[in-house]
Amino acid sequence: MALSGPIVLTDNRYGKAENRVVRFYRENARHEIRDVNVSTTLRGDFAAAYTEGDQRHVLPTDTQKNTAFVFAKRPGLDTIEDYAIALATHFVDTVEPVSSARVDVESFGWQRVPINGSEHDHTWKRQGPEVRTAAVTVAGHQTWVVGGIKDLVVLKSTGSEFADFLTDDYTTLAPTRDRVLATALDVRWRFAEIAGFDWDEVYAGIEATLLELFATTYSKALQQTLYAMGTAVLERFPMLAEIRLAAPNKHHFDYDLARFGVENNGEVFWAADRPYGSIHATLQRADAPEAGPAWLP
């Protein structure tokens, strides 16, 4: 069927992606470091810029970049959540055409270098590969905060199986009662409230819970492990409304050493990076407030 209706612009947004901001706190001899990647996205009355090339309502993306750097100094980068809230609120409150602003922050961890048993005051080495994340959306007088962690690589050498699964004519995978379970977790959690707690303490507690449940849950499938992890996080942190977990299954296969006259005994594996199983789960409280634009890009 041929369509002949008018063409309309249904959505638009623009911003400045991946501003690499490094802030040092140098008030005394022991310095502190904040290393972040900041992306800003604005929505609002910008249709004319697309349909007519009219830029009168468009705040340049270069200005957004400059603002991200200014806000790293004032009010500062003590926590990425407070920084993102302040930055997004600034765009909504001071730029008239802007109806909503989203700020995404990735925070890269650094660990102090030990010298003669003591932490050095101004030298660090990168931690990782895990990255702390925050996504803040401000629209009118409402604020939504989504925290997270990505590239949290975890592995257990036993305590996992995969058996009794559905098979068809094309199934070749053999069931196993003892396997290596490995993944790189990408987890996001939506806050139901944004005050009355310490952002850093909540993040540390959630990461510790994810690691604890991964280690201690006897896993019949990665799906089961994700459900256990998400449930524990929501039970322990009442300020959260929802959690979303994504986990690529980093497969490890027993390498055939018998052809060389060597017994393997589950000790030597081939780590395959592709293809991989892609497992996702979303858990939410039954009485959770609506997400609004929290998950929108």
Q: Which residues are catalytic?
A: 16, 61, 251
8 Å CB contact between 106 and 125: no
Asked whether the bond before 289 is cis by omega within 30 degrees of 0, the reply is no
Q: Which of 133, 142, 138 is nearest to 38 (CA)?
A: 133
**What is the greatest pairwise CA distance in the chain?**
76
DSSP H or E stretch at residue 120: strand 118-139
8 Å CB contact between 110 and 41: no
DSSP H or E stretch at residue 70: helix 61-73
DSSP H or E stretch at residue 222: helix 222-236
Alpha-carbon distance 162 to 175, whole Å? 6
Other beta carbons within 10 angstroms of residue 247's beta carbon come to 26
DSSP H or E stretch at residue 21: strand 14-25
8 Å CB contact between 139 and 293: yes
Which residue in this structure is represented by tokens 């604020």? 143
